[in-house]
Amino acid sequence: MSKIIEVKTNVIQFLKENVNCHEVTVIKLDKVDENWEAIAEVYEDDSFLKSMNLPPKLKRVFYSVKIDGSNEVVAFEKMTEYSQ
């Protein structure tokens, strides 16, 4: 398996385990020196609707994930916006 597929799989697995989400798609993956930077599109429950006990609706958000050369996630954050 190629390294880029391993990194993509690792990003998806990490987000599914650590973020309460339904679907994860890696939409951008860049190698920077020995590290990788990924942008993932994630669908998660709308927390506002959930807090109001209203019917659930999925909300699309983006996460930035950084992975080092040994395929370990070293940083991730929810992005406030993403423009392609």
What residue segments make up the domains of the chain, in order of their start? 3-79
Do residues 47 and 20 make contact, with C-beta atoms less than 8 angstroms apart?
no
Among residues 74, 77, 71, 68, the alpha carbon closest in space to that of 1 is found at: 71
Selected from 3.40.720, 3.10.450, 3.30.750, 1.10.287, the CATH number assigned to the domain covering 3-79 reads: 3.10.450
- From first to last of its 84 residues, what are the pLDDT tens digits of the chain? 588 999 999 999 999 999 988 899 999 999 999 999 999 999 988 878 878 888 878 889 999 999 998 999 999 999 988 877
